[in-house]
Chains A and B, each alone.
Chain A
């Protein structure tokens, strides 16, 4: 199929009209693919595209040859700015831009600290919720089918499974660690009880380290 036509006075075809934008790299992915496909199958279009690439290169050279303005322009600008009346409060400025500005003004390190603080707050919240759930369960007579009443003793942790973890794998892991899910998920974390005896701090830390190494565990922290 020939996309380009040899008539002199005519409207451009849809693809032809996109060629200059393709040369400049400003087409969206879909249109860029359409043009690439057309170029691959139409030699006339490919020849026209080569001409456009020359025009593109020469336009850049022409503009670059225009040089730059003198310092006079900047001096004039800032003299004019100095003569402007004092700026009012920025309250009228677009709120979306202000939020974007706030986050952009933070350094990467500040953002990292903020992220850690956020994660900690999330874990703290999960812990509190888990504790409340356990207290409620032991204090009253309410009991769900999913989470049978658990012993107050034992070692507890908050665990987040990998997104691709399968139910069979989770069941196998819980079995291997003599563990059971006590509550959750809250904020993506399950409260898990390991055995029915409280482990020493060292043993609990080792257990959690081992768990963290499991393929289907994305995060685990100790919980009271």
Chain B
């Protein structure tokens, strides 16, 4: 989601508002992978995440005329994605937003202990990142992977800027606890 695209995202949105399908294809090409990964990290189901992509971009097609350019297009996209993903999760009885469910879902991959057994700290860290609660996962992803600022994360998640900082701090604390449980002591903070 670089800002150096030949035609800016904002201009593409303007063209989409006028019904330009080509502009829609370009915007989709730029952002669909990140939208997919963000939704997949939230819903943990590839099929649902793929469905969410088309829903997100269909919303863009419909709402482009209302986009006022107050935030980056990528921020807007992630906010829509988050909303759609949480709605999809609410529809699934087995995927409520609590730590217990998150912990159960993450059993599909190697748990931290297994990773440590492999003497692979890097794998253990990734597994622990997967084991975080949805609330903590999304903030870690938004800051580290999607490179969103404090202000942008606040806008996407709908929380105050100070809460963004403290939530990320506690997400990192939880990560340290998971790693410690897996035998990797990194110290906290």
The answer to whether A52 touches B41, judged by C-beta atoms less than 8 angstroms apart, is: no
Q: Tell me whether B126 is interfacial, beta carbon within 8 Å.
A: yes
Contact between chains at B149 and A26 (CB < 8 Å): yes
- Using Cβ atoms and an 8 Å threshold, which residues of chain A touch B18? 87, 90, 93
B21 contacts which chain A residues (CB < 8 A)? Answer: 78, 81
Determine if B53 and A62 form an interchain contact, defined as CB atoms under 8 angstroms apart.
Answer: no
Q: How far is the CA of A63 from the CA of B130 in the complex (A)?
A: 10
Smallest Cβ-Cβ distance to B173: which chain A residue: A8
The answer to the question of A18 belonging to the interface, with a C-beta cut-off of 8 Å to chain B, is yes
Contacts of A54 in B (CB 8 A): 125
A87 touching B53 in the complex, CB below 8 Å, given contacts A26-B147, A62-B130, A77-B28: no
Given contacts A24-B147, A93-B65, contact A63 B41 (CB under 8 A): yes
Q: What CA separation (Å) do A110 and B33 show in the bound complex?
A: 34
How many Å lie between the Cα of A98 and that of B21 in the bound state?
17
Chain A residues near B172 (CB-CB < 8 A):
20, 52, 55
Stretch at the interface among A67-75, A130-138, A158-166: A67-75
A69 to B165 CA separation, bound complex (whole angstroms): 31
* B147 and A70 contact, CB distance less than 8 A: no
**Given known A8-B188, A73-B53, A93-B14, contact A63–B145 (CB-CB < 8 A):** yes
Give the contact-size bracket for chain B.
Answer: 35 or more
Which residues of A from 10 to 33 have beta carbons under 8 Å from B?
11-12, 16-18, 20-21, 23-27
Instruction: Report Cα–Cα, A81/B57, bound state, in Å.
Output: 9
Contacts of B24 in A (CB 8 A): 78, 81
Of the candidates A16, A73, A76, A105, which one forms a contact with B189 in the assembled complex, judged by CB atoms under 8 Å apart? Answer: A16
Q: A81 and B61: CB pair below 8 A?
A: yes
- Which chain B residue shows the least CB distance to A89? B18
Closest CB in chain A relative to B87 CB, distance in Å: 17
**Nearest CB in chain A: distance from B138 CB, A:** 12
**B141: Cβ under 8 A from any A Cβ:** yes
Query: Distance in Å from the Cβ of A193 to the closest Cβ of chain B?
Result: 49
Chain B residue numbers with a CB within 8 Å of A144 are none
Specify which chain A residues have a CB less than 8 angstroms from the CB of B15 in the assembled complex.
101
Is B10 among interface residues, defined by CB-CB distance under 8 A? yes
Minimum CB–CB distance for B73 against chain A, Å:
11
Q: Is A187 interfacial (CB 8 A cutoff)?
A: no
B36 touches A73 (CB 8 A): yes
- Complex interface: chain B residues within 8 A of A25 (CB): 147
Q: Which of A24, A58, A69 contacts B50 (CB 8 A)?
A: A69
Which residues from 160 to 189 on chain B have a C-beta closer than 8 Å to any C-beta of chain A?
165-166, 168-169, 172, 175, 186-189
Q: Which of B67, B130, B168 contacts A20 (CB 8 A)?
A: B168
Do A12 and B126 have beta carbons less than 8 Å apart?
Answer: no
A105 to B172, CA, bound (A): 45
By beta carbon, the residue of chain B nearest A97 is B14
Q: Which residues of A contact B130 (CB under 8 A)?
A: 62
27 CB < 8 A contacts A-B: A4-B189, A8-B188, A11-B166, A11-B169, A17-B168, A26-B150, A27-B149, A55-B172, A58-B122, A60-B144, A63-B145, A66-B37, A69-B36, A73-B51, A74-B54, A77-B28, A78-B21, A81-B58, A90-B17, A93-B14, A94-B14, A97-B11, A97-B68, A100-B8, A100-B14, A100-B69, A104-B8
Top 8 A-B pairs, shortest CB-CB distance: A87-B19, A17-B165, A59-B144, A77-B54, A90-B18, A101-B14, A26-B149, A12-B169
B interface residues (Cβ-Cβ under 8 A, vs A): 7-8, 10-11, 13-15, 17-19, 21, 24, 28, 32-33, 36-37, 40-41, 46, 49-51, 53-54, 57-58, 61-62, 64-65, 67-69, 122, 125-126, 129-130, 140-141, 143-145, 147-150, 152, 165-166, 168-169, 172, 175, 186-189
